[in-house]
Amino acid sequence: MMSRTALDLWVGIFVAIGFAALVFLAMKVGSFSGINGSESYRVEAAFDNIGGLKVRAPVKSAGVLIGRVQGIRFDTDSYRAVVQLDIDKRFEFPADTSASILTSGLLGEQYVGLEAGADVEPLKEGDRLMITQSAVVLEKLIGQFLFDKAAEPAAQ
């Protein structure tokens, strides 16, 4: 009987260490994103071009993470990309908030940046953001630059 309690002690230590490692991984290594389906509201925004935006990309306002991209689909009526954004319930935005697709750093991932407007009405579930700015496409930027260069001598 004595040996069995010693065995139980070791198994208890093993299970405790295993769960401690799990808690460490959950709390210290990863952070609970804290943004789950139940605590968020969903709004839509249509963009001419979303560049390299991916599902689950961050939604930020003033650099702070406030939500995630839930889905991206192509609207065949307007030929634009419709991006669904899940925004944390704690953060309320005016109805005329604008969305733009930005890049973190020079080579970083793309995210959706929200800029608050001045409307007194708050954004509600299912609303659509009216003012959007597309992702910067490098080819278009270079094309524009070359076009401007070519136009310069003619102006003089």
Partner 1 sequence: MNGLFAGLAAGLRHVGKLTIDGIWRLGFATRFMFAVLLASGQSLTRIHLTIRELYFSGVLSLLIITVSGLFVGLVLGLQGYDILQRYGSADAVGVMVALSLLRELGPVIAALLFASRAGSAITAEIGLMKTTEQLKAMDMMAVNPIARVVAPRFWGGVLSMPLLAALFSAMGVFGGWLITVVVIGVDDGAFWSQMQAAVEFDYDVLNGIIKSMVFGTVVSLIAVFEGYDCEPTAEGVSRAITRTVVTSALAILALDFVLTSFMFRG
Q: How far apart are CA 103 and CA 8, in angstroms?
A: 54
Which residue, 11 or 141, is less far from partner 1 as judged by CB? Answer: 11
| Piece in contact with partner 1 (CB under 8 A), picked from 22-30, 43-51, 130-138, 147-155 | 22-30
Q: How far from 37 is each of 21, 31, 41, 72, 90, CA to CA, in Å?
A: 27, 17, 8, 17, 13
- Under rule CB under 8 A, residue 120 binds partner 1: no
Chosen residue from 28, 64, 76, 149 binding partner 1 by CB under 8 A? 28
Burial call 91-113: b when 16+ CB within 10 Å, e when fewer: bebebebbbbbbbeeeeeebbbb
- Under rule CB under 8 A, residue 10 binds partner 1: yes
Q: How far is the CB of 85 from partner 1 (least distance, A)?
A: 17
- Under rule CB under 8 A, residue 74 binds partner 1: no
CA geometry: angle 146, 149, 152, nearest 5 deg: 150
- Under rule CB under 8 A, residue 29 binds partner 1: yes
First to last CA, the chain: 101
- Under rule CB under 8 A, residue 71 binds partner 1: no
Chain residues binding partner 1 by CB under 8 A are 4, 7-8, 10-11, 13-15, 17-22, 24-26, 28-33, 54, 56
